[in-house]
Structure 1
Amino acid sequence: MKVLLLNVPDAHVGKTTDDWDLEATDIGVFPPMGILYLAGVLRAGGRHDIGLVDCILDRLTPDAAARRAADFDPDVVGLTVYTPTLYDALILTRRLRELAPRAKIVWGGPHTSLFPDESMAQPEVDFLVTGEAEESFPAFLDALEEGRSFEDIPGIYWREAGAVRRSGDPGYVKDIESIPFPAYDLLPYKRYFSAIGTGLPVGTICSSRGCPFHCTFCCKPYSTYRSRSVDNILDEMAVYYERGIREFFFFDDLFNASAKRVAAISQGILDRGFRVVWAFRGRVDAVTEDMLRLAKKSGCRQALFGVEDATDEGLKRINKKITVEQVRRAIKLCRKVGILTSTNWIIGFPHHKTQEDILHLIDTAVSIDSDFAQFNIMIAYYGTAIFQEGVDKGLFPADIWRAHAANPVPNFVEPIWEEHLSRAELSKLLKLCYRRFYFRPLPILRKFLRVRRASELALFAKGALTLLGIKGYHRKRHKEGESQFAEPAKPQEQ
């Protein structure tokens, strides 16, 4: 069969602020690992013709994406669906139904695992593949082609005799090392980049899956931590290295689960002679100076840490299980060995009761002085402890996410904690976070002096323009009907 996999457009994502949010692409454009892994699995199986379209990379509207899909003349179209981009996924699906009427349309991705019933209530959706799909999706395609039952394949939803059927719990891959490498070559992989990287084409690697921690604001599908062997990770790097990729981003939820593992990967990079730069996401309480020195020697350029809050009491409230002193120590160690740092912060937690609480967070972020920082307003995601707490307090309806899943709207206003500070107040404070952190003489000079190539200078300028507010007001334009995208054609009546 001809199978087309789509990374959904992001023209009408959910919004948290009144008039200002950073675009996803303001921090870079990264390879869509979900469909790349599936393409790798399908190619290894050798049974199907595969096509990929990354609508975000190519800046496609739902209508343009559907027309490109129709040109492929697919038997099956698979969409990775996230709740923030649900509206675009649905508009794209409706256009696909019009332009590629014979194709079976399959939804996968995190949204379908959270809201399977609402997803199947959309008449244009033929099937769901929920959970991790690297094993279940190929089995589903084989069963579909051969006319067999889906009963024994985990996580499948379908219609039969006018009713929705399901085949058990969402898919789960115990041995993630058994998954073939992502099919990077099916997309223009040299166009992906990190806005806080070097400007070189970036390759994304997931060396592990899952996170054993239970932060109250985090919505995650799996707590079980599963890792790949060092040799398997290095073999994947070698494939991309041979294709000219020299910058890598380890996109794991928890790359530095152990210092020993990070050291082994670093030594392996050196032993194989890879001349690369790389970055990772990790925890501040799991770094050592020896680990960082070896990582730096192997090309580690940057470490990204989720800090979230600025007091030990606040960190306890969100069950982060770190301290502010551990944050300071990790940043100092990275600077000592020459690794850049980026910290993530969240404002608008339930215990942020006054503007002074947010100002203290800003002051702490400035004093810790990571090289980069990202600030966000806390979103009460469905299924999190904070969401349930907000429902119990009557801050938002229990069905707010389900209602959106059933009837998505463009630029859905996501629930945030407005018990103490309003959305408008938090929006202003979010802008203040960025301006207070970045518009200081020493950090600006430090960043400028690190520029080594024209691509880095371009990224530096783009980031400055974004923070000045020259860019970044796309949410308001969408609200006023001035989308940066051409408006998709309206779906016909079904």
Structure 2
Amino acid sequence: MRRGWRSKEPDMPLQPMSPGNGRKHEDFRVLFLYPNIQMCALMPSGIALLSAMLKREGFTVDLFDCTFYQNPLNANFPFYHASLRPVNWEEKGVRFFQSDLAADLQRKVDQFGPNLIAVSVVENTYEIGLRLVKSLRQRIPTVFGGVFATYAPEKIIKEEVVDFVCRGEGEEALVDLCIRLCRGLPVEDTPNMFVKMDGRVVQNLIRPTIDLNTLPFPDFDLFDPQSIYRPMQGKIWRTIGVETQRGCPFTCAYCNSPSNNQAYTADKSGKFYRKKRLERVREELNWLVKRYQPELIYFVVDTFLAMSDDEFHELARMYLDFRIAFWMNTRCETITPERAEWLERMNCLRMSMGIEHGNPAYRDQMLKRRVSNERMLDAFRAVAGRRYAVNGNSIVGMPGETRELAFDTIRFNRQLPKEIESSGAFIFAPYHGTSLREIAIREGYLDPESIVSLSHDAGSMLDMPQFRREEIIGLARTFSLYVKLPETSYPEIRIAERVDGVGDRHYESLLKRFREETYGVGALDPIDS
């Protein structure tokens, strides 16, 4: 039966799981757990919005943030960051924590006394969050939300320490859940939630999408003051994330954003991809500037320039009133010479544009990226030589790929204007909610039960006979070298692909040369953006 919720065993009576007793909202305490990757330093707008929503309803909120812990549990691999610029965290007084993550979380729980723990995770931080919750001495009602929770709720809800899993947007769903728990009301039919009750699971449909223009401004006060600092291009900035639209109109096979559109359509919950009104964006920027004095705006948008020319010109003219340096992510199809010029006037600092793969047939058929190489090159030419920096993102090790196909991506990157930065290539991660994951499973490259975690960040999760894991790792770590160094260096770079003593020595020598020729420096902090 499907009446706003689904039950795996509809013949069993539902028993409301609710620790409340009609208490006041201010007496109900919610602890956010943010199991962030080490030094991934951007305050998440999602948690800031959830906090603002809860505080607006009178709830008491606190946060345990893993970002500045240098702990093996959330260790970040410098693998992808080898070609990035150095930063000096000390100049901003940023402190790092060497203490034990689990012990500090336990101390926070003992001091704060939460009635609910809310864990926000993406797939590669899920393992960190789960292990931290399992480490607690006391059993506290716990809800998991975020990207991974939306696409793999069945995997999360089966864990003994998890009581609720929130699918889709959490702003209204979490407030609804907290009101019910606080007042002792039934929770089994809470929209968006998978609810565990007496050994069984109730699976509720997703509620209609929220009007983005009605959301409160994000509560970045929740975070440690040093969390506002983020590295970018060798400098540390006071950085705030801003959301101008939610979702993405494109259907790329390596991204799970299209699955949001499908999930909301399936549950008849509205159109997930939508935009804020420009006037609301202006109001939010005014408020953020006054409260936090940002030096850098980080537009937290899948494809920032996915808009009509009229919309772009309105946005550009509005932003001229601020001209705060900003970062954005976009697609080549959204770039024109006119837009490239306007971005310079708006004070863009840096942009990332997706290349993903250099072979047009593979990119079209496998990745659902229907754009020609020449159109992408035109976009990079339009933005090259501007006062902002541009980097192209590539991926290696995708399903069905071969070494020769991967070199098509390298050859494409070598055609880019010399001003375009090459930040290396990411190894394909088979995230839940992506169609490429389903292809990998179907072709026998991937165990269906596998979860992307930090333990996989240095290697490929796919087992493909035509493109072995060792080759993928070697190409990923030498990708920038192949792109930027002359072809006469290729024999030595091939040796540097080897992940052993000999390969490592060649790699370090070539990397030093790459750094000196690219940035004029010999040593880099592994954490940058």
Tell me the TM-score normalised to structure 2 length.
Answer: 0.74
Please report how far the alpha carbon of residue 9 of structure 1 lies from its aligned counterpart in structure 2 after TM superposition. 4.3
Structure 2 CA distance, aligned partners of 1:42 and 1:241?
Answer: 23
Structure 2 CA distance, aligned partners of 1:113 and 1:466?
Answer: 29
Query: What is the correspondence of 1:266-281 to structure 2 with a 5 Å cutoff?
Result: 266-271=316-321, 274-281=322-329
User: Which of 350, 356, 364 lines up with 2:412 in the alignment?
Assistant: 364
User: Which of 427, 430, 437 lines up with 1:387 in the alignment?
Assistant: 437
Amino acid at match of 1:90: L
User: Which of 273, 276, 289 lines up with 1:241 in the alignment?
Assistant: 289
Query: What is the correspondence of 1:28-427 to structure 2 with a 5 Å cutoff?
Result: 28-45=40-57, 47-59=58-70, 61-96=101-136, 98=137, 100-101=138-139, 103-166=140-203, 168-171=204-207, 173-191=209-227, 192-196=229-233, 198-220=235-257, 221-223=259-261, 224-242=272-290, 243-258=292-307, 259-271=309-321, 274-317=322-365, 318-353=367-402, 355-369=403-417, 370-397=420-447, 399-401=448-450, 404=451, 415-416=461-462, 418-427=464-473
Match of 2:52, SS?
A: helix
Please report how far the alpha carbon of residue 53 of structure 1 lies from its aligned counterpart in structure 2 after TM superposition. 2.3
- Work out whether residues 399 and 445 of structure 2, in 8 Å CA contact, stay in contact via their aligned partners in 1: no
Match of 2:171, SS?
A: coil
Q: Which moved more, 1:293-302 or 1:170-179?
A: 170-179
Cα distance change of structure 1 residues 347 and 446 upon mapping to structure 2, 3 Å threshold:
closer
User: Which of 462, 466, 471 lines up with 2:524 in the alignment?
Assistant: 462
Please report how far the alpha carbon of residue 138 of structure 1 lies from its aligned counterpart in structure 2 after TM superposition. 0.4
Please report how far the alpha carbon of residue 294 of structure 1 lies from its aligned counterpart in structure 2 after TM superposition. 2.1
Match of 2:135, SS?
A: helix
Match of 2:236, SS?
A: coil
Tell which structure's C-alpha radius of gyration is larger: 2
CA RMSD of aligned residues (A): 2.8
What is the CA deviation profile of residues 131-174 of structure 1, one whole-angstrom value per residue up to 9, with x for unaligned ones? 211011101100111111225531123233443223x2235524
- Work out whether residues 304 and 330 of structure 2, in 8 Å CA contact, stay in contact via their aligned partners in 1: yes
Structure 2 CA distance, aligned partners of 1:128 and 1:216?
Answer: 25
Please report how far the alpha carbon of residue 414 of structure 1 lies from its aligned counterpart in structure 2 after TM superposition. 6.0
What is the CA deviation profile of residues 160-203 of structure 1, one whole-angstrom value per residue up to 9, with x for unaligned ones? 3443223x223552422222121012213553314437421211
Cα distance change of structure 1 residues 247 and 75 upon mapping to structure 2, 3 Å threshold:
same
The residue that corresponds to 1:18 in the other structure is none
Structure 2 CA distance, aligned partners of 1:109 and 1:147?
Answer: 25
- Work out whether residues 358 and 409 of structure 2, in 8 Å CA contact, stay in contact via their aligned partners in 1: yes
- Work out whether residues 42 and 50 of structure 1, in 8 Å CA contact, stay in contact via their aligned partners in 2: yes
- Quick one: percent identity of the two aligned structures? 20
Match of 1:316, SS?
A: helix
What is the CA deviation profile of residues 426-469 of structure 1, one whole-angstrom value per residue up to 9, with x for unaligned ones? 11111110333456889966645xxxxxxxx9xx9535x679xx
Amino acid at match of 2:302: D
Match of 2:237, SS?
A: coil
Gaps of 5+ in 1: 11-23, 449-456, 468-494
- Work out whether residues 248 and 277 of structure 1, in 8 Å CA contact, stay in contact via their aligned partners in 2: yes
Match of 1:148, SS?
A: coil
Match of 1:222, SS?
A: helix
Please report how far the alpha carbon of residue 255 of structure 1 lies from its aligned counterpart in structure 2 after TM superposition. 0.9
What is the CA deviation profile of residues 12-58 of structure 1, one whole-angstrom value per residue up to 9, with x for unaligned ones? xxxxxxxxxxxx74xx511122211101111222x211112221234
Please report how far the alpha carbon of residue 394 of structure 1 lies from its aligned counterpart in structure 2 after TM superposition. 2.3
Structure 2 CA distance, aligned partners of 1:294 and 1:466?
Answer: 30
Please report how far the alpha carbon of residue 352 of structure 1 lies from its aligned counterpart in structure 2 after TM superposition. 2.7
Gaps of 5+ in 2: 1-27, 72-100, 262-271, 487-512
The residue that corresponds to 1:476 in the other structure is none
Structure 2 CA distance, aligned partners of 1:174 and 1:87?
Answer: 29
Cα distance change of structure 1 residues 417 and 158 upon mapping to structure 2, 3 Å threshold:
same
- Work out whether residues 247 and 274 of structure 2, in 8 Å CA contact, stay in contact via their aligned partners in 1: yes
Amino acid at match of 2:380: I
Please report how far the alpha carbon of residue 385 of structure 1 lies from its aligned counterpart in structure 2 after TM superposition. 2.6
- Work out whether residues 245 and 275 of structure 2, in 8 Å CA contact, stay in contact via their aligned partners in 1: yes
Amino acid at match of 2:370: K
What is the CA deviation profile of residues 50-109 of structure 1, one whole-angstrom value per residue up to 9, with x for unaligned ones? 11222123446233233223322211111012222222112111123x1x44x3222112
User: Which of 482, 492, 496 lines up with 1:436 in the alignment?
Assistant: 482
Cα distance change of structure 1 residues 417 and 209 upon mapping to structure 2, 3 Å threshold:
farther
Number of residue-to-residue matches in the alignment? 428
What is the CA deviation profile of residues 390-436 of structure 1, one whole-angstrom value per residue up to 9, with x for unaligned ones? 33322233x333xx59xx99659763262311000111111110333
Structure 1 CA distance, aligned partners of 2:485 and 2:225?
Answer: 33
Cα distance change of structure 1 residues 346 and 200 upon mapping to structure 2, 3 Å threshold:
same
Match of 1:462, SS?
A: coil
Match of 1:182, SS?
A: coil
- Work out whether residues 256 and 262 of structure 1, in 8 Å CA contact, stay in contact via their aligned partners in 2: yes
Cα distance change of structure 1 residues 29 and 438 upon mapping to structure 2, 3 Å threshold:
farther
Cα distance change of structure 1 residues 291 and 197 upon mapping to structure 2, 3 Å threshold:
farther
The residue that corresponds to 2:34 in the other structure is 7
What is the CA deviation profile of residues 253-304 of structure 1, one whole-angstrom value per residue up to 9, with x for unaligned ones? 1110124333322211223xx2410111111111122222222112112221
